[in-house]
A and B are shown apart, each in its own frame.
Chain A
Amino acid sequence: MSPDARTTPPALRIPILACLLALGAYNVWCWQNALGSGEPSLPRWFATWQMFTLRDPGHAELFGDVLVAGEWKPVELESLFPTRWESGPRYARSSFWKSIPRMRVLAASTCTRHPEHPTRVRFRVDRWDKTLGSLKQPKRKLRTEDLLEWDCTRPAPLPAGKPL
């Protein structure tokens, strides 16, 4: 009797099962990397899933100041850089503000985007403990950390060394 035309041809059945087993094994291999918090690797990146896994008991907020005519003024970062992700403004992620190369790009962009043409910019981050059960999140146990001060005459090192 001829094979059922509605399903996979017999010649492909075992190879497909083997591919699915390999896909399962690939997922386990990727998981082992996340478990060991190993170095990022492109082959594993597509199936490494770590979503809200670890405890995150604190808030962080980035602030910027610009030096204009010898006076430091606070800068509204959200109006200068309006793009928002689910995780907030792009510079709000810890992986962003903990990275000096990225902060340098943010600093140089602040220099060029700010309408008052500042001569220097500086950034700090406020970190404080979360308050459970409350929409308002008062700054309990506030820690402030200076991150970067940038001279606006310096060229910004964009990817591959291209200047801004």
Chain B
Amino acid sequence: MSEPVSEPVNDVAAPLSEAPPAGPASPAPALVDRLYAPVWAGGWTGVRLAFGTVSLLFLLSRAPALADAYAAQDMVFANWPFFLADHVRITLRTAWLLWGAGVLGLVGVLAGGRWMRPGLLLWLVADWVLLAAESLNIKAHDRLGLWIALGLLLSPAAERGLGSKWRSPASRWYLMVVYAGIYGSTGWLKLLEEPGWWSGKVLAYHLVHRYFGGGALGAWVSGQPWLVAPMGWATVLFEVTFPLLVWSRRLNPWLLALGASFHLGIAAMMNVGPFSWVALSAYPVLLHPDVARRIYERARGFLGRRGAA
């Protein structure tokens, strides 16, 4: 998608306070040229680090369950669309090897540079063989992780020093389409198939789910109709409008702020594993690059002042 460039033409030395370098100097660039004007690429480093960290922590947390979840010789299942168990049963040693390969791969992702792509591929293969062996429990965050990983492979995320570089917007568009698909799909299903979202009842029932429920806070919220009803409306409105509004320069930051609060609310009130964190890990790139760059500059300035003090 975007073509990483080994040595950028003129942006490495550009101070961050400067405006981004202009695109082609043609007096009236064609629409396609304007669409492909380079954008600030620092967000990709944020995605790489966030996604790598979330995935690594989750993989490490799986270690105690390795024997029973992935290498049990009795509780073996094949489940559509994964039929690995029809042919192979993973032994404990193989499970540990795959787990170790996944950890190694994610360390490569976090290291960045030349290690990122091989590391990402290693983790993808190891993780999905384990998932295929388990087969019954492939979750939304596993599939979302696959889509984000593909975005990382196509992006300039492997490059170092992206905080001062501009790259093609194409890999960002890819993630925007993926997220538009996820939010739009689930939002429009809620809108068309489940009227209970408008009263908040559907959300309230999920908050007291025996396992997905989020403990005392979720249980309390589930009994407050004045609270769950607007939360239900906000959820549906956010998801339904995301596919359109994410492309708007002006509305994009507000939409993503709503999305971040949506995911943080899920993390606080439900037990859905790392889903919220995996979903949020791509936000640095979904955010409009100009806004993301301003946030980056401010954070950098703040940290610089603290360091100087």
Contacts and interface: CB of A to CB of B under 8 A. Distances in A.
Interface stretch (B101-109, B201-209, B281-289, B301-309): B201-209
A139 to B, nearest CB: 12
B193 A9 contact: no
A57 interface: yes
Interface stretch (A13-21, A117-125, A142-150): A13-21
B205 A105 contact: no
Residue of A6, A20, A108, A132 most packed against chain B (CB within 10 A): A6
Residue of B36, B180, B206, B273 most packed against chain A (CB within 10 A): B36
Given A27-B185, A82-B68, A159 B76 contact: yes
Interface in B174-226: 174, 177-178, 180-182, 184-186, 188-190, 192-194, 196, 201-206, 208-212, 215-216, 219-220, 222-224
B2 A7 contact: yes
B140 A20 contact: no
Contact of A51 (B3, B140, B196, B205): B140
Interface string B163-180: 001111110011001101
B13 interface: no
A40 B80 contact: yes
Nearest to A131: B208
Residue of A9, A16, A108, A137 most packed against chain B (CB within 10 A): A16
Interface in A59-88: 59-61, 81-88
A4 B9 contact: yes
A40 B81 contact: yes
B9 A6 contact: yes
Nearest to A58: B205
A86 B139 contact: yes
Interface string B78-94: 10110101110000000
B185 A134 contact: no
Residue of B8, B74, B201 most packed against chain A (CB within 10 A): B74
Interface string A1-43: 1011111111011101100100110110011001100001010
B202 A23 contact: no
B118 interface: no
A164 interface: yes
Contacts of B74: 105, 108-109, 112-113, 156, 164
A8 to B, nearest CB: 4
Contacts of B215: 135
B210 A88 contact: yes
Interface residues of A, number: 73
B8 A20 contact: no
Contacts of B206: 52, 56
Interface stretch (B19-27, B49-57, B253-261): B19-27
A152 interface: no
A5 B5 contact: yes
Given A8-B2, A105-B75, A90 B137 contact: yes
Given A8-B3, A27-B180, A54-B202, A90 B136 contact: yes
Nearest to A135: B219
Given A86-B139, A158-B76, A4 B23 contact: yes
Interface of B: 1-3, 5, 8-9, 11, 21, 23-26, 32, 35-38, 65, 68-69, 72, 74-78, 80-81, 83, 85-87, 136-137, 139-140, 143, 146-147, 165-170, 173-174, 177-178, 180-182, 184-186, 188-190, 192-194, 196, 201-206, 208-212, 215-216, 219-220, 222-224, 271-273
